[in-house]
Structure 1
Amino acid sequence: MAGLRKRFGATPALDGMSFTVRSGVVTGFVGPNGAGKSTTLRVVLGLDTPDAGWALVSGRAYRTLHRPLCHVGSLLDAGALEPGRSARNHLLWLARTQGIATRRVEEVLELVGLAAAARRKAGGYSLGMRQRLGIAAALLGDPPVLLLDEPFNGMDPDGIIWARSLLRSLAAEGRVVLVSSHLMGEVQEMADHVVVAGRGKVIADAPLEDLLARHGTLEAAYLRLTRDQVEFRAGGAA
């Protein structure tokens, strides 16, 4: 993505956001509330249209992708599902819209640990279970690119360790993995590269080891780099 700009009314959400996410590594995407992280992901996924700049997935705009779930998987909101539908039926519905085989639904349910609860209504799931279902949906098309917004929310320690291991293994397969999170400790444990955003633009884009060498911990790096980056858009996307 390069030069992304986006305003909601008179308020800027993105102000020249530019960075590239490489394959084979986990990239952490961090910044204060209002930094433009969620808006950036929505622009990449074609949910918001930028006022300027461009965002591509494997060299193409999301809206031009045929069977997009086979190119990019995403988790933006674990609650964005029909509560009366079972987890299995939720994934089956997604699979049918993309021409994905039914057996893949069973595979991802097993992968995320929901096989035993697959026929329960998703509305009765805990937040951690809904996060697992969201990750299953992101993986449904076996995509080379994954964009996840706060995937650890609501997970217990075992779930966080599982998710961290899963994302690292997916990157090791050569996939692009971008994870937006406010949990600096988890990002430090998982990421190879970190993009720090503030006020709608990138303020740091570096290997994790470089940030640790300079600041000691990712939390210290984050606090020093973002201390002047206050939330500037009340009620807007983070």
Structure 2
Amino acid sequence: MSIVVDGLHKRFGSTVALDGMTFAVRPGLVTGFVGPNGAGKSTTMRVILGLDAADAGTALVDDTPYRSLRRPLRHLGSLLDAAALQPSRTARNHLLWLAHSQGLDGTRVDEVLALTGLTSVARRRAGGYSLGMRQRLGLAAALLGDPPTVMLDEPFNGMDPDGIIWLRGFLRSLAAEGRAVLVSSHLMGELQDTAHHLVVVGRGRVLADGRVSDLVAEHSSLEQAYLTLTRGAVEFSTREDVR
């Protein structure tokens, strides 16, 4: 398994963010991580990256805590917040700064700029990018280390229709290369025809974990499966970043 989450519990004050979250992400598949706002998706991803500490349970990348990995971008590439960049830097310089921290050079930077369709705007300041372009830049950063696992939090946000179509195909191509791809969303439609596997969550716990084909067979459609499984799993967070 590329990512293994086992029995995660997390509270923020009196708010229960994670309540035994458990699932695994497998190579060669796009795994959709879906649930309503407040379900615990972003908190789980932050725990995986060591940005938040779990009260109980474990989250491992390649059988190792992320913080213990040497050159972590070579193991797991992630995109949690497309706005997390220095707006005065060009896109290329933003990526060069990250690349140097991982022992990579400008050649790899130019490769990921081309992969994400940013070559023509690489020398523009990132602060002038639209949200959709910042999502592409975040994806380029996630791919810098050519990692076997990619984790993306709501990457469709800000994408125009053409961008959404492109991203769906791009995620499938990453999985076809043998990578494990974890993609969170609170909208089932964003993952339609993209995800091979779904982890449906609500109130900080897993509600369903299975192949898309199995969920469709059981519920007649993905949308119906989502509505049935998340019924009653309303937003419970008092913190904007606990999702």
Q: Deviations over 1:187-207 (max 9, x none)?
A: 121000000001101010010
Partner of 1:216: 220
Cα distance in 1 for partners of 2:236, 2:17 equals 8
Partner of 2:201: 197
Compare the two structures and name the one with the higher strand fraction. 2
Q: Give the unaligned 5+ runs of structure 2.
A: none
Percent identity reads 69
TM-score (norm 2): 0.96
- 1:4 matched to 2:13? The reply is no
Secondary structure class of the residue paired with 2:78: strand
- 1:156 matched to 2:171? The reply is no
8 Å contact from structure 1 (residues 195, 206) kept in 2 = yes
TM-score (norm 1): 0.98
Cα distance in 1 for partners of 2:8, 2:178 equals 26
Cα distance in 2 for partners of 1:35, 1:15 equals 10
| Pairing partner for 2:65 from 38, 58, 61 | 61
1:86-165 equivalence runs, <5 A: 86-165=90-169
What displacement does 1:132 show? 0.3
- 1:167 matched to 2:168? The reply is no
The root-mean-square deviation of aligned C-alpha atoms, in Å, is: 0.8
Corresponding letter in the other structure for 1:25: L
Structure 1 consecutive aligned stretches of length 4 or more whose deviation exceeds 2 Å: none
Q: Give the unaligned 5+ runs of structure 1.
A: none
Partner of 2:210: 206
What displacement does 1:130 show? 0.3
Cα distance in 2 for partners of 1:147, 1:178 equals 5
Secondary structure class of the residue paired with 1:18: strand
Partner of 2:25: 21
8 Å contact from structure 1 (residues 188, 208) kept in 2 = no
Cα distance in 1 for partners of 2:35, 2:73 equals 27
Cα distance in 1 for partners of 2:6, 2:224 equals 28
What displacement does 1:10 show? 1.4
Q: Deviations over 1:129-180 (max 9, x none)?
A: 0000000000000000100001111111111111111111111111110000
Secondary structure class of the residue paired with 2:39: coil
Secondary structure class of the residue paired with 2:193: helix
What displacement does 1:44 show? 0.4
Partner of 1:231: 235
Secondary structure class of the residue paired with 1:141: coil
8 Å contact from structure 2 (residues 31, 197) kept in 1 = yes
Cα distance in 1 for partners of 2:170, 2:126 equals 22
- 1:44 matched to 2:40? The reply is no
Q: Deviations over 1:11-55 (max 9, x none)?
A: 110000000111101000001111100000000011000000000
